Amino acid sequence: MALPEMSCDEVNDADDPSPVITSSSSDHDMTTTSRHYFGDSTANSDSFCIAIIESMKEDYGLFVWPCSIVLAEYVWQQRLRFSGVSVVELGAGTSLPGLVAAKVGSDVTLTDDANKPEVLANMRRVSDLNNLSCNAMGLTWGLWDADIFSIHPKIILGADVLYDTSGFDDLFATVAFLLQNSPGSVFMTTYHNRSGHHLIEFLMAKWGLKCMKLIDGFSFMPSTKASGLSGNIQLAEIVLNS
Ligand SMILES: C[S@@+](CC[C@H](N)C(=O)[O-])C[C@H]1O[C@@H](n2cnc3c(N)ncnc32)[C@H](O)[C@@H]1O
């Protein structure tokens, strides 16, 4: 029998004095629940925890990738920009940045590849587990299903969505469409800078986009979180070049 997923409220704090990320697992269904903390609970009454259900199955969308931890922390630190605005997360997978946005007051739609029912189902489970009411829907980059015409995000999030160069063009096509559909909107993304920015720069020019901000993802991470991460993670804010 599988163990139930535990929300943050159900964790015994006495066993867990000052966690940054903690996890519990069930061998039966190969899932683990990791908990991610935002703010300083001793100093800040706004602090909170998000529980994420992860799976060891081989699917990119069922694991919390480091870029997601970095983008989620950025959302928390930039929370005033997120209050009361409409947010869409692309390639959300386990959805940590989108759930943080919902927690700080955004109206959030979580999206992932429409052909991945398990990932979409998990997005709904993590939203429920954290008592959040995010929308969840399939949105495959480069495809124009009816649903995409109904969303007008002020902020588009994407953590580790620039990981396979064969998908970059479709991703930027979708991002450009959403930015055009919602004037004044911004795409915030974190990615591993593995081979320079040449392809990203080329595709931004192709799709009429420009980078407004490019920062080292580790520059704003609390040391307790940064110590568990590695790589060269960049955070970019991208807008229409008009
Ligand atoms: C490396 S994972 C990152 C997941 C999550 N954002 C994170 O950082 O933990 C890439 C995500 O992009 C999604 N994805 C890949 N190709 C896609 C496509 N063509 N359309 C929509 N989502 C896609 C995958 O299903 C997966 O959830």
pTM, two decimals, is 0.93
Closest CA to 174 of 209, 202, 201, 198: 209
pLDDT at 94: 97
236 CB neighbour count, 10 Å cutoff: 21
161 Cβ inside 6 Å of ligand 1 = yes
90 Cα to the center of ligand 1, angstroms: 7
Mutate to test the pocket of ligand 1, among 50, 59, 62, 113 (most ligand atoms within 8 A of CB): 113
Atom in ligand 1 nearest the alpha carbon of residue 139? 21
Atom 4 in ligand 1: which residue has the minimum CA distance? 93
Please indicate whether residue 172, judged by its CB atom, sits closer than 6 Å to ligand 1: no
pLDDT of residue 241: 95
Q: Is 66 in the pocket of ligand 1 (CB under 6 A)?
A: no
Question: Are the CB atoms for 90 and 175 separated by under 8 Å?
Answer: yes
Q: Order of strands across the sheet with 135-138?
A: 135-138, 107-112, 86-89, 155-159, 186-192, 233-240, 209-216
Q: Is 121 left (phi over 0), alpha (psi -120 to 50) or beta?
A: alpha
Q: How far apart are CA 28 and CA 98, in angstroms?
A: 28
pLDDT at 26: 57
Give the CATH class of 58-240: alpha beta
Predicted pLDDT of residue 21: 60
Ligand 1 atom nearest 167 alpha carbon: 19
Local confidence pLDDT in tens for the 242 residues of the chain:
444 567 887 654 434 434 456 565 655 568 899 999 999 877 767 899 999 999 977 677 789 999 999 999 999 999 999 999 999 999 999 999 999 999 999 999 999 999 999 999 999 999 999 999 999 999 999 999 999 999 999 999 999 999 999 999 999 999 999 999 999 999 999 999 876 788 999 999 999 999 999 999 999 999 999 998 988 999 999 999 98
Give residue 67's region: left, alpha or beta (phi > 0; psi -120 to 50).
Answer: alpha
User: Is the CB of 67 within 6 Å of ligand 1?
Assistant: yes
Q: Is 60 in the pocket of ligand 1 (CB under 6 A)?
A: yes
Dist. CA 221 → ligand 1 center (Å): 23
In the block, residue with structure tokens 């920062």: 215
The one-letter code for the residue type at 126 is V
- Closest C-alpha residue for ligand 1 atom 16: 113
Ligand 1 centre to CA of 112 (Å) is 6
Predicted local confidence at residue 19, as pLDDT: 44
Nearest to 82 by CA among 51, 48, 108, 106: 106
